[in-house]
Structure 1
Amino acid sequence: MNVRMAVFYSVIALASFGLIYTLVTDPASLLRRIAIYAAIIGVIYLLYRLWSSRKPGRQDQQAFKKAVRQSKKRYGNPVSASKLKSPGKQPSKKAIPLKRSSVSRIDGPKLTVIEGKKGKKKKKISL
């Protein structure tokens, strides 16, 4: 048993002894203390919720969600391909060969070369 664990268990034992002693001798005081601690924790929680609701990004997020709802209302929800498939037997992945377009392999990405002025160097003035 290491020293930290011994200190931890002794603090827990003393706290439980004090709790039981207060419960036996003066239970009204214990209940009042618990109520006060609960009230303090509740006030801190309410202040945190009030502060976190005023974050500037939250209003943007709410506006985005509202726009998404309006878009869904206007255009409707598109039915995904997974919903259109029958719940029957799914084909294995080996049965369906992956097809790549031969055009994309032949033609590379469309890149343009921009001519620069690498040959010309600026004169540097040193102080």
Structure 2
Amino acid sequence: MKNRTSFYFVIGMIILAIIGVASRFISNPTAFFQSVLVFLVIGFAIFFLVRRFNGGNPQKHEQSAFRKAAKKSKKRFQQKDIRKPSVKPMNGNVSTLKKGKNKAKSAAHLTVIEGKKGKKKKRASF
């Protein structure tokens, strides 16, 4: 029951709003367009102010940097797949084929961060 009454209330408000907008448009169209224009300008101003002050969120910057890196990585791996030649039958012994599979791949996107690993911390002795 409660849902029906709120539904009828909302429908009634929408109908009254449509009647009010139509009567305002018919009685004075220039004032109607002026008020619509002012409403849009204020709405855009608030929108841009909110975007300007919420744009400095560092978490959003990290997310955009992550998405950018993910796109680059995806593109790089897709290019590797395209460049791979089709599989050709090889004539050779088994030991030479296994040596090629055991070859370590270089991870070019990883970097080493130097630190103080060898130094011991100075601790207070009691």
The two structures have a TM-score, normalised by structure 2, of 0.48
